[in-house]
Amino acid sequence: MTALASFTVKTSRKDEWINITREVQKITADSGIIEGICLVFVPHTTAVVTVNENADPDVPRDVSLALAAVSPDRKEFRHSEGNSAAHVKTSLVGPSVALIVAGGALLLGTWQGIWFNEYDGPRTRTIFVRVLGESA
Ligand code: ZN
* Residue extents of the structural domains in the chain: 2-135
Tell me, in angstroms, the distance from the centre of ligand 1 to residue 115's CA: 22
Tell me, in angstroms, the distance from the centre of ligand 1 to residue 56's CA: 31
Partners of 129 in beta bridges: 5, 40
**pLDDT reported for residue 136:** 81
Tell me, in angstroms, the distance from the centre of ligand 1 to residue 81's CA: 5
- Report the C-alpha gap between 115 and 123 in whole angstroms: 16
Q: Are strands 112-118 and 33-41 parallel, antiparallel or unpaired?
A: unpaired
- pLDDT at residue 131 is higher than 90: yes
Tell me, in angstroms, the distance from the centre of ligand 1 to residue 120's CA: 9
**pLDDT reported for residue 68:** 97
CATH number of the 2-135 domain: 2.60.120.460
**pLDDT reported for residue 2:** 87
Tell me, in angstroms, the distance from the centre of ligand 1 to residue 76's CA: 15
Tell me, in angstroms, the distance from the centre of ligand 1 to residue 24's CA: 27
Beta strands in 1-136 (DSSP E): 2-10, 16-19, 33-41, 47-53, 96-102, 105-106, 112-118, 124-135
- pLDDT at residue 1 is higher than 90: no
pTM of the model: 0.95
Tell me, in angstroms, the distance from the centre of ligand 1 to residue 86's CA: 8
CB atoms within 10 A of CB 63: 18
Residues in CB range of 19: below 8 A, 6 or more apart: 54, 113, 114, 115
pLDDT in tens, 65-123: 999 999 999 999 999 999 999 999 999 999 999 999 999 999 999 999 999 999 999 99
pLDDT in tens, 23-65: 999 999 999 999 999 999 999 999 999 999 999 999 999 999 9
Partners of 96 in beta bridges: 41
